[in-house]
Amino acid sequence: MSPDSRAAPLSTRNSWHRVVAAWRRFEAFHDEMFVAPWRQGLEREARRQDDTFRALVMLDALGVENPVAYETMELIPHLVGDLHAWHQRMGQDTFGDPGTCC
């Protein structure tokens, strides 16, 4: 502890700043080491789940008979918007008959 009564808060402040800076560095490190890969994994997982759902609703477009085509008709406008990105992810450059997508 410093004998200077005015230096004490200052040094406390300094050490506080040091701690915060260290914490930030650690956070960045932690983020890079653990969170980022996890987030990427999660992003991949979210996309995979989304693609699975889209494929289930648009079975007809994949040439598979869809027993609930009538029931899920009103989902179609919500799903065709990003259809192009989807079929490219599915590894197909073009998709379906003319008019289906691109």
Enumerate binding residues for other proteins (CB under 8 A).
35, 39, 42-43, 45-46, 49-50, 52-53, 56-58, 60-61, 65-78, 80-81, 83, 99-101
Cβ of residue 84: shortest distance to other proteins, in angstroms?
A: 9
Q: Given the complex with other proteins, which of 8 and 56 has the nearer CB atom?
A: 56
Cβ of residue 52: shortest distance to other proteins, in angstroms?
A: 6
For 63, left (φ over 0), alpha (ψ -120 to 50), or beta?
left
How many angstroms separate the CA atoms of 19 and 30, rounded? Answer: 16
Q: Given the complex with other proteins, which of 20 and 82 has the nearer CB atom?
A: 82
Cβ of residue 91: shortest distance to other proteins, in angstroms?
A: 20
Q: Which of 3, 100, 25, 12 is nearest to 61 (CA)?
A: 100
Phi, psi of 5 (to 5 degrees): -70, -25
